[in-house]
Amino acid sequence: MSNSMDDVAAQAKAFFIIGSNTTEQHPVFGTMLRRAVKFRGAKLVVADPRRIDITDFATLHLRQKPGTDIALVNGLMHIILEKGWEDKIFIEERCENFDEFKATLMNYPPEKVSETTGVPVEQLYEAAQIIAENKPTAVIWAMGITQ
């Protein structure tokens, strides 16, 4: 994470957790996230093949096949671009070589990603919309995605 736990839990309108069993690995932060969902109405998308404790609070639980995290994330970004939900000003001002990045993401259409990950196309669109439209969104990951 690149922000403090307090800032994330208090300010994010949505959370996308992938590769992290947050309530087991970081119980204090897990409690903060649960409270943000329960009391502030923050949206929570959890991408994990397993049912973990935090999924009880999830707006959406994506159960991708093990080993398909990259396809899932690239597919979500593809949808965000396809729908025009990206932050165009941020991209214009702060990103280099974005056209090349975008070209790579076009290799991850929702139907192909669904086939690869096992996540239904409808859930891919729902997750992308939650992530894109609830700003700021915090992306929370741990060893499950970095190993």
The answer, yes or no, to whether residue 145 has pLDDT greater than 80, is no
Both structure tokens of 138: 């915090």
- pLDDT digit string, tens, across residues 18-69: 999 888 888 999 999 999 999 999 999 999 999 999 999 999 999 999 999 9
What proportion of the chain, given as a percentage, has pLDDT over 70?
98
Average pLDDT score over the chain: 95
Superfamily of the domain at 5-146: Dimethylsulfoxide Reductase, domain 2 (3.40.228.10)
How confident is residue 2, by pLDDT bands cut at 50, 70 and 90? Answer: low
- CB atoms under 10 Å from CB of 128, counted, come to 23
Q: Round to whole Å and give the CA distance between 72 and 76.
A: 6
The answer, yes or no, to whether residue 1 has pLDDT greater than 60, is no
Residue appearing with tokens 């671009």: 81
